[in-house]
Structure 1
Amino acid sequence: MKIAVASQNQHQITAHTGHCRRFWVYECENGEIRDQQFLELSPQQSFHETSPQANHPLDGIQALLARNFGWGLQRHLQSRGIQPIATAKTDPEAAVRDYLDNSQPEHVPNRQLFGRNGGRRSDRGRRMRRGKRGHPAGGFLNR
């Protein structure tokens, strides 16, 4: 089993995974880490820049661990057969060991990491209702 960990600075797990270009790739067997390699991608090979249909250097891994994933990246990874795993850990090797020991959840949706709306503004409806005749600018354009 191959597990990749997003680590832009090579020491900690990255929070913004879509633009990440540096990954630790762990080869695991029978719940143990057998090998680890560092993989650095070009800017054009980040998940943000590549199409889900194009070949990617991380094709063939089973899981990608990172601090969080946007909804688009989650769909992109799942279309490649890669399971996105959000973790609160910052140490790459410790996160892989926890994943192998099943001591962390298989997937934490963004709404659990960033609040009930997955990081989107929750007051949008209230802001829209504040203005005169429902205009968000307070009705200044309607005068």
Structure 2
Amino acid sequence: SSLEESVAIFATSAEYGYNLRREHIFGARLTQRKKLYGTTEEANYPFPFGVGKTTILRTHLAHRKQPPLIIFAGEDSSGHLLSAFPETRLCCLINRKQTVDMQPYLQEAVKQRGTATPRLVLQGRDENTGEWRPDEASIFLGETTPSLP
């Protein structure tokens, strides 16, 4: 859901270790006038939130005729991706406080913990420091005890 040009700066740079091709970067596109961004999204391009995010992936991955290899779901708008691509074998859910729409996926990830081939896995983080945790449980902002959804 981030601005495509902002993501591209980091994702296409070898300096940051990604070095992806520009045509593989998708995100929010805003109108431009004289190289200045406007406040509205670009016409004829889906906004990458909910169904729009799924539409972008389906459009750009159509030639592969395969689902995404992995889905990283770190925000509330990712729920539609998880249901739209049930054949994706691995989905990493960022363990954070999410909306009601994401709760079923988070709860299912908790149930799949310890199974041989889980489809949904959790990634914990410490919201107080902004760092990833080597665990599925997260430490939420203002708290000190790790917790699962």
Q: Above 0.5 in TM-score?
A: no
**Larger radius of gyration between Structure 1 and Structure 2:** 1
Looking at both structures, which has the greater relative contact order when contacts are Cα pairs under 8 Å and sequence separation is at least 6? 1
Per the normalisation by structure 2, the TM-score is 0.31
Per the normalisation by structure 1, the TM-score is 0.32
